[in-house]
Structure 1
Amino acid sequence: MQFRKDINALRAVAVIAVVLFHFNPAWMPGGFAGVDVFFVISGFLMTGIVFRGLATGHLSVLQFYRARANRIIPALAILCITVLIVGWFFISPLDYKKLGLHIVSSLTFWSNFTYWYESGYFADAAQNKWLLHSWSLSVEWQFYLLYPLVLAAFSRIFSIEQLKKLVVYTLIIGFVINLVMTFLWPDAAYYLLPARAWEMLFGALAYLYPLKLSNKQKVLCQRSGLILILVACFLVSENSFWPGYWALLPVLGTWMVIQSDRPNSRVMGHVVLQKLGNWSYSIYLWHWPLVVAGFYYSLDKSFIISGILLSVLLGFISYHLIEQNQLFHQRANKKIFMERTSPDCNHSPTLNKFNFVKWNPFYNTVLLLSVTLLISGAVIINNGFINLAPIEYQRLIDNAKPSPYREKCHLTHYQEPAKSCEYFGRNIQWAVLGDSHSTEIAYALAEKLKTDNIGIKHLTFTQCKPSYGVSYDFDKCARWYNEAIEYIIQQKDIQHVVLNHRFTRALFGGSAYRYPVVGELTQNAQTQFMLAQLTELIQTIAAVKQNVYVYYPIPELPRSIQNLIGHKLLQGAPLNNVTGTSLDWYHKRNHFMIDYFKNADFPTNVHLINTQDTFCDKATCYAVKNGEALYFDDDHPSVIGARKLVALIE
């Protein structure tokens, strides 16, 4: 297989798309499709290695693994060590421990599972995860582990031609799996191999069944393929059904460019694309930690350009000093063409002649990997060395905790309301209804009522919109929500109801991650309908109960409280009061709900509780106020914060 400049240029296109998207999504909303381009290229090149080995009878699966490890691990491990060293000085202990965990999962190529597991509702912002981009390397490595092994096993049963057909059938099945997973489990589909394998098998298809095209057809095929990739990069967004059927755009486009086989075209052979293609793996590795640094240290937008340039510079250095280093690459006294995978393997396209090296580069790779894992393990075992931090910091981190009943009592799937938790007193006179932001309120209220042997009914469902009087297909919790309301109404002993939701997020969307930018919040027919149903809900409950308590929106934080406290620690600033947002921003962010509550004409037994009375002062809303942690993440109140909210109930 000769070196293909067009494939090298594809790597450049892919890494440019990913880097631009990560530094500024507005520039290229679908730039994440560059990862899909990398997957197709990897499938093409790996299939070439495996099938040539099978055809000649010289396929060594073990040697295949060693070659992949020598290409992937050294640059990744050096990146991890660098981030660990920098993190010792500039990352808070809690984030440092999480970095250690992520490094271990990245270097064991399990990080896609790690980030999938962390992708739920309570996940940190992506910009807090220094090695989030390693998920794609883990997907590729898992493919590398299985692909040659499976083909080698089946080659004992089937002929080469039958193996080719088997790959095609697996591709079709994989695409169907991708569609099903994207629809039912979108987070799993994004991160896990079963929904991504078809993309690499599409690359295999390009190798196994090359098209015979005329020169004019090749030109048209290459240009059309590039257009499809660019369409994906500019027209697709994070809100698209992805990977799903939309991923066909970059996948089919990459397949077409590979099939065109025009390595010397003016565009694809351009020196800039060729250089960026050579450095693409290292650029890919280094760019994301720089993106995280910009977010973590709240650098302004001027950092974007310098961050992109620094990514290229570090990619260039990493390529020449690590990827091309003899310590990690066996070079015998003969001409060796160094095949490349993407985005993990980038080597010089030239044929080189070197003297025989007596040491085994694989041992150096294993040594580097082992040292990095040992250091990361020490960070994890010592909890990010939090014991070296001030006592005040340790106390705040320890107090930023959720309800001990959250895992037991907060629902993530349907359960009959009658079976929901009741605690602590036996006389159940109160019910707390809402989404996950009501869980700690329920616990704090139960604590307060416990001395009088009065208990509460805990009725919370994750990410549940106010769904009163709607069809069950309106929202995943709609059935449960309406049954819970009916249950409350029917229980005569329950006379006091607390209602709380993340109202603005549920009805209008958005969050505080772009703080101090508020973002556009607009009303439409659905939000007006939901507000009308909310009014009906409150009035319905108030008609049959003594008291209904409804909370105004709880202030949101621009990032997790642990991150905000960590920043204060690194700055050497006092931790007694840690700012979340300005009060003015809180009002702008929640103005629809604030106006709704102010203008509502509720019965006298409906009590509206203004959360800013305890979480804010005249100018600021706090994450830590008077030495107390009010949250346990970026928007859910901690038990301490919930106690303050419950104290507002008369």
Structure 2
Amino acid sequence: MNKNYRLDINGLRAIAVLGVLIFHFDNLLLSGGFAGVDIFFVISGYLMTLIVCSGIEKNTFSLIYFYGSRVRRIFPALMVLCFVMMLFGWLYLTPLDYTQLAKHVASSIGFVSNIIYMSESGYFDVDSKYKWLLHTWSLSVEWQFYLVYPVFVLSVVSLFSKYSIKTAVLILTIISLIFSICSSYFWSLDSYYSLPCRIWQMGVGALAYLYFNRDYSRFSNCFFFFGLLLISLSYFLFDESSPWPGYLSVVPCLGAFFIIVAKSNNSFITNKFMQFIGYRSYSIYLWHWPVVVLFSYLNFESYYSIFLGLMISILLGDISYRCVENFRWINAPKYSFVSLIFYPPLIIAILIFSFGVSVYVSDGLKSRFQSHPASTIERSPMAYECNSKWEDPCELFNENGSWAVIGNSHAVELSYALAERVSKYGDGVKQYTKVGCTTAYNINELNDCSKWERRSVTSLISDGDIKNVLVSYRITSSLFGDNISDYPNLPDNHPSVLNFMNKDDARLEILKSFSYMLEDLAAVKDKVYVVLPIPELYENVNRLAFRNNLYNEEYGSISGTSVEYYMKRNALVREYLLGGDFPSNVHFVDPRDTYCDTLNCFSFKNNVALYFDDDHPSLSGARLIVDNLMELHLLEG
């Protein structure tokens, strides 16, 4: 071992990765364990500054060698993980889930996964625990830092002098910290994944080297235990509701800072166990999250499964460390660009990246499940192209059609299914949909949804070609909140609008607003069809299909929820709409007729998926609803 090797830093890696592991397997055991990632960033900032600045001081620094060493460190283990995940996905994941995995594999290898996840959702949202490579966002941030940091330091040296590095890094750290604090309040989802909001954490590590790289042996124990105290407070006092990475994240970063400055190579973090974990921390970090996701898919939630997950993660990390990280690859990149681009793990990673892109653009290789129930878990081909349009809505199949569909995400697949059906008669559909919106037609709130809905209805009313309108919203969720987290209990949250009212009054106002929209449409259109609430599942059908594929079980008709739960959950909406005094040309389409029998509402029916997640109708499910609609349309003449 190198005599200058910092056992304390290796032990600090162990503290960081164990915090992350425990938090991810059960955040109640260590509510702030996610701060371990921040500690990793501080360590990276310290080590990268040591490498760059010592190289500049000795006049031996090489950008190619620096990038080559980062490639040797990061790519092999990441490449193997991504290869295993693509193989695993090929065997067991549905086309929709495999499409998402392929996108995340490509973005992880391209080190832009933080940007991809930033655009998708929040780190702590419900769906995050089903994203197999979510944890690679931090690798992307680190790699982006590796790309720009040495160039930044070399630029400072070139423009000023090497003595200006300390001041430049200090200024950069302060600016990033201020930006991070502001962003964590105003753009909390974006700031978590953002490199500019994380640079200051690497900067803290850099400052430890630039300003405090000396012997503090007299204060070593004080610094060490103070740093350990700060990290412990972060792990036990903070939680996912804490603004992050805002001012609170200074606490674990300062904790890591003091432990690095202390240089204590004779403490409990230098014992054999912590060193064992520290050496394997990168591989353990890589493999733990897929284990977390697998357990989520399999609904493993007992304390026994937490212990099992931790042990499996450490075992996989150990195998990866021994067999991948320590494998001696031929043509390891050293000082030349040619040796770098011909490095075998890099070449293999590029091939995996290319395969990931091909799987993504081919919608998850549906041919894997030809004539298989999992192949019916599909979305509208126009799912993303037609969102939020009101001035120039999508015209599906035929222009100037006599049909229009308006609603939120629950109307997207219905739009395409209806267009398929009426195209047989040379007709078409205009699609007015905006995902994630509460119906707020005449509610005086200045938000994007209410403005979009008013403009869309105005456009519909003025369009003389449109004779028939289909309306579909997930109204119950807007009134009471999502069902998943409370199931089988009923949620009772405040509606997402009219926060100044009590819950019951706000719900009534939303329903009144919805009825006003129906009446305004009915006044100028031949027929208005309203889809009553679609049954919501307690579990995403892709998870259910995964388990069926894994255990080789039959599909057939699988219950997703009970009719009793559905009726209780949607009682207010159904009673208001079915008992209301609406114009005679307003008709209601009841999904129960196709989704349910007398006792159960199904997720799969006759080997056909009725959903593509836990509440949105799949294209196949939407076609069944449209069949009912057209029967009603023909019956009404």
TM-score over 0.5 for the pair = yes
Displacement of 1:468 in angstroms is: 4.3
Secondary structure of residue in 2 paired with 1:57? coil
Any idea what the Cα deviations from partners look like across 1:237-271, whole Å, max 9, x if unmatched?
Answer: 44443334443343333334334444434x54454
| Contact map agreement 2:231 2:252 (CA 8 A) in 1 | yes
Q: Which of 465, 476, 489 pairs up with 2:438? A: 465
Amino acid at match of 2:370: I
Amino acid at match of 1:602: G
User: 1:271 & 1:517 partners in 2: Cα distance?
Assistant: 47
| Contact map agreement 2:79 2:348 (CA 8 A) in 1 | no
1:342 matched residue in structure 2: none
Q: 1:103 to 1:409 in 2, by over 3 A?
A: closer
User: 1:165 & 1:177 partners in 2: Cα distance?
Assistant: 18
2:451 matched residue in structure 1: 479
User: 2:45 & 2:611 partners in 1: Cα distance?
Assistant: 45
| Contact map agreement 1:179 1:244 (CA 8 A) in 2 | yes
1:391 matched residue in structure 2: 370
Secondary structure of residue in 2 paired with 1:190? helix
Q: Quick check: 1:631 aligned with 2:596?
A: no
1:132-171 counterparts in 2 under 5 A?
132-171=134-173
Amino acid at match of 1:598: E
Secondary structure of residue in 2 paired with 1:635? coil
Secondary structure of residue in 1 paired with 2:602? strand
| Contact map agreement 2:114 2:141 (CA 8 A) in 1 | yes
Amino acid at match of 1:366: Y
Displacement of 1:385 in angstroms is: 9.5
| Contact map agreement 1:36 1:247 (CA 8 A) in 2 | yes
User: 2:611 & 2:115 partners in 1: Cα distance?
Assistant: 27
Any idea what the Cα deviations from partners look like across 1:539-562, whole Å, max 9, x if unmatched?
Answer: 433554356654443233455545
| Contact map agreement 1:224 1:256 (CA 8 A) in 2 | yes
Any idea what the Cα deviations from partners look like across 1:550-599, whole Å, max 9, x if unmatched?
Answer: 444323345554554454344434444355445455456xx2x4234326
Displacement of 1:169 in angstroms is: 1.9
1:14-163 counterparts in 2 under 5 A?
14-84=16-86, 86=88, 89-91=91-93, 95=97, 99=101, 102-119=104-121, 125-163=127-165
1:337 matched residue in structure 2: none
1:98-247 counterparts in 2 under 5 A?
99=101, 102-119=104-121, 125-179=127-181, 182=184, 186-210=188-212, 221-247=223-249
Q: RMSD in angstroms over aligned alpha carbons?
A: 4.2
Query: Which shows bigger deviation, 615-624 or 364-373?
Result: 364-373
2:378 matched residue in structure 1: 400
1:439-518 counterparts in 2 under 5 A?
439-445=412-418, 458-473=431-446, 475-484=447-456, 498-512=470-484
User: 2:177 & 2:416 partners in 1: Cα distance?
Assistant: 45
User: 2:466 & 2:367 partners in 1: Cα distance?
Assistant: 49
Displacement of 1:83 in angstroms is: 4.0
Secondary structure of residue in 2 paired with 1:173? helix
| Contact map agreement 1:468 1:533 (CA 8 A) in 2 | no
User: 1:257 & 1:329 partners in 2: Cα distance?
Assistant: 37
| Contact map agreement 2:92 2:546 (CA 8 A) in 1 | no
| Contact map agreement 1:432 1:497 (CA 8 A) in 2 | yes
User: 1:99 & 1:483 partners in 2: Cα distance?
Assistant: 37
Q: 1:313 to 1:167 in 2, by over 3 A?
A: same
| Contact map agreement 2:415 2:429 (CA 8 A) in 1 | yes
| Contact map agreement 1:432 1:499 (CA 8 A) in 2 | yes
1:644 matched residue in structure 2: 624
Q: Quick check: 1:277 aligned with 2:278?
A: yes
| Contact map agreement 2:406 2:469 (CA 8 A) in 1 | yes
| Contact map agreement 1:327 1:364 (CA 8 A) in 2 | no
User: 1:167 & 1:537 partners in 2: Cα distance?
Assistant: 55
Q: TM-score, normalised by structure 2?
A: 0.80
Q: Which of 541, 563, 571 pairs up with 1:594? A: 571
Displacement of 1:19 in angstroms is: 0.9
1:334-483 counterparts in 2 under 5 A?
366-371=343-348, 373-374=350-351, 377=354, 381=358, 386=365, 389=368, 391-393=370-372, 397=375, 400-402=378-380, 404=382, 406-411=383-388, 417-421=390-394, 426=400, 432-445=405-418, 458-473=431-446, 475-483=447-455
Displacement of 1:310 in angstroms is: 1.6
Displacement of 1:284 in angstroms is: 0.7
User: 2:328 & 2:86 partners in 1: Cα distance?
Assistant: 25
Any idea what the Cα deviations from partners look like across 1:111-169, whole Å, max 9, x if unmatched?
Answer: 33444455499x99334433332221122122112211221233122222312211122
| Contact map agreement 1:225 1:257 (CA 8 A) in 2 | yes
User: 1:597 & 1:77 partners in 2: Cα distance?
Assistant: 52
Query: Which shows bigger deviation, 532-541 or 500-509?
Result: 500-509
User: 2:251 & 2:479 partners in 1: Cα distance?
Assistant: 32
Amino acid at match of 2:286: L
Q: 1:548 to 1:298 in 2, by over 3 A?
A: same
Any idea what the Cα deviations from partners look like across 1:63-99, whole Å, max 9, x if unmatched?
Answer: 2222222222233333344445555655556655654
| Contact map agreement 2:284 2:318 (CA 8 A) in 1 | yes
Q: 1:225 to 1:112 in 2, by over 3 A?
A: same
Displacement of 1:306 in angstroms is: 0.8
Displacement of 1:53 in angstroms is: 1.4
2:12 matched residue in structure 1: 10
Q: Which of 577, 589, 592 pairs up with 2:557? A: 577
User: 2:75 & 2:419 partners in 1: Cα distance?
Assistant: 52
2:635 matched residue in structure 1: none
Query: Which shows bigger deviation, 40-49 or 230-239?
Result: 230-239
Displacement of 1:231 in angstroms is: 4.0
| Contact map agreement 2:22 2:33 (CA 8 A) in 1 | yes
Amino acid at match of 1:530: A
| Contact map agreement 2:95 2:375 (CA 8 A) in 1 | no
Any idea what the Cα deviations from partners look like across 1:614-648, whole Å, max 9, x if unmatched?
Answer: 22223433333234443344432233322333444
Q: 1:238 to 1:397 in 2, by over 3 A?
A: farther
User: 1:530 & 1:494 partners in 2: Cα distance?
Assistant: 32
User: 1:295 & 1:135 partners in 2: Cα distance?
Assistant: 20
1:250 matched residue in structure 2: 252
| Contact map agreement 1:552 1:594 (CA 8 A) in 2 | no
1:354 matched residue in structure 2: none
Any idea what the Cα deviations from partners look like across 1:344-393, whole Å, max 9, x if unmatched?
Answer: xxxxxxxxxxxxxxxx9x78992234235436645765769958745312
2:498 matched residue in structure 1: none
Secondary structure of residue in 1 paired with 2:343? helix
User: 2:536 & 2:488 partners in 1: Cα distance?
Assistant: 13
Q: TM-score, normalised by structure 1?
A: 0.79
Secondary structure of residue in 2 paired with 1:142? helix
| Contact map agreement 1:410 1:460 (CA 8 A) in 2 | yes
Amino acid at match of 1:553: P
1:618 matched residue in structure 2: 598
| Contact map agreement 1:263 1:269 (CA 8 A) in 2 | yes
Query: Which shows bigger deviation, 315-324 or 518-527?
Result: 518-527
Secondary structure of residue in 2 paired with 1:556? coil
Q: 1:64 to 1:375 in 2, by over 3 A?
A: closer
| Contact map agreement 1:569 1:575 (CA 8 A) in 2 | no
Q: 1:456 to 1:125 in 2, by over 3 A?
A: same
**Percent sequence identity over aligned pairs:** 35
User: 2:7 & 2:279 partners in 1: Cα distance?
Assistant: 10
| Contact map agreement 1:17 1:34 (CA 8 A) in 2 | yes
1:545-564 counterparts in 2 under 5 A?
545=522, 549-557=529-537, 560-564=540-544
2:517 matched residue in structure 1: 541
Displacement of 1:321 in angstroms is: 3.9
User: 2:309 & 2:95 partners in 1: Cα distance?
Assistant: 25
Amino acid at match of 1:40: V
